[in-house]
Amino acid sequence: MRVLGIETTCDETSAAIVEREEGSGRVLSNVVLSQVKKHAAYGGVVPEIASRAHVDALDRIIQQALSEAGLTLDEMDGIAAAAGPGLIGGVIVGLTTAKALAFATGKPFLAVNHLEGHALTARLTDNVAFPYLLLLVSGGHSQLLAVKGVGQYQRLGTTIDDAIGEAFDKVAKLLGLDYPGGPEVERVALKGDPTRFSFPRPMVGRPQPDFSLAGLKTAVRIEAERIAPLTDKDVADLCASFQKAVIDMVLDRVRVAVQIFTSQHGTPKALVVAGGVAANQAMRRQLLHLADSLRVPLIAPPMDLCGDNGAMIAWAGAERLALGQHDGLGFAPRARWPL
């Protein structure tokens, strides 16, 4: 079974072809066009610019995905698009395009929840069995989910304010670093002292595995203002101390989530990390230690499948199609769509 997947919920225009055979998956093509440069000057994603850029690029990206896979639209078994959650203008572009292609070809159409795409990627890359624990950390989401089956997701924890990637981006901005801030903070933190500033570890010790980033971000701002003007060393130390606080919080929250998961569903088959922040090597290292100590395998999909991409949408569509599911062409785009 082969599915075309389209992703346009944020600032990546992407189309991919994925093949699913006897439960395991293969990426035949995954074309991702990042709009980062278009938004960099504004220090964040500008929805109007994002929508227009998706319109400009999507046809070409779909053509490229088909030609890299050496396939035609007629050889697809389904056409999937992320129908939300995300920036509504972009969602409309991808969803409407997928509907039009499905209508013109008579193929089944799948409206995929973007979060479900992230949630199921580990089955595409590593054939992970259910149930598993997912730590989803990106610019838009910070969630801990029990993934029990296709369409069966239990949210154990979420952020009560900013997403983790968003906090990295905001801290980078206030320290004068480039956008997107996550990779910049990580790069600069390598030269910094993580013990120089003792920032708060929000939520640590709470029984519910939720996240909170707003207070930590404010603490960084106050400290930066107090010691200004900042030297390169100050910025590095601030980045390292901030990153350390985030990682400590994430580890504590994952520990709590594993306990809750285990008491309800038994030991998770894996701890899966997904989302752009999963690219953070320091966080990955610490999560690996934690997973080892819990005797649970850590699955971290490769970088190109960690951030937003069409392959995860195609794969979620294929998993649903294999269960005999598809959606009507009347499916409305959704800015908000909790799993």
Choose the contact partner of 116 out of ligand KG4, Zn ion, none; CB within 5 to 8 A by kind: none
165 is in an annotated binding site: no
Q: Which is nearer to Zn ion, 29 or 138 (CB)?
A: 138
- Chain-centre distance for alpha carbon 98: 21
Q: Is 118 annotated as a binding residue?
A: yes
Within 127-146, which residues bind ligand KG4 (CB under 6 A)? 138-140
**Is residue 309 involved in binding Zn ion (CB under 5 A)?**
no
Q: Does the protein bind ligand KG4 through residue 186 (CB under 6 A)?
A: yes
What is the footprint of Zn ion within residues 129-168 (CB under 5 A)? 138
How many residues contact ligand KG4, by CB under 6 A?
20
| Chosen from ligand KG4, Zn ion, none, partner binding at 209 (C-beta under 5 to 8 Å by type) | none
| Per-residue binder mask for ligand KG4 (CB under 6 A), 149-168, x = binder | ----------------xx-x
Closest CA to 31 of 75, 64, 70, 56: 64
Among 181, 192, 202, 268, binds ligand KG4 (CB under 6 A): 181
- Between CA 193 and CA 300 the distance in angstroms is 27
Using CB under 6 A as the binding rule, whether residue 90 contacts ligand KG4 is answered as no
Binder to ligand KG4 among 31, 145, 224, 279 (CB under 6 A)? Answer: 279
Separation CA 171–CA 148 (nearest Å): 35
Nearer to Zn ion, 5 or 192 (CB): 5
Nearest residue to 135 (alpha-carbon basis) of 293, 291, 292, 250 = 250
Residue 139 assigned as binding residue: yes
Site pattern 284..303 for Zn ion (x: CB under 5 A):
--------------------
Assess 234 for contact with ligand KG4 (CB under 6 A).
no
For Zn ion, the closer CB: 50 or 236: 50
Tell me if 277 contacts ligand KG4 by CB under 6 A.
yes
The crossing angle, in degrees rounded to 10, of helices 232-265 and 181-189 is 110
Find out whether 299 and 271 touch, Cβ atoms under 8 Å.
yes
Which residues are annotated binding-site positions?
A: 114, 118, 136-140, 169, 182, 186, 280, 308
Which residues are annotated binding-site positions for substrate?
A: 136-140, 169, 182, 186, 280
Binding residues for ligand KG4 (CB under 6 A): 10, 138-140, 165-166, 168-169, 180-183, 186, 275-277, 279-280, 307-308
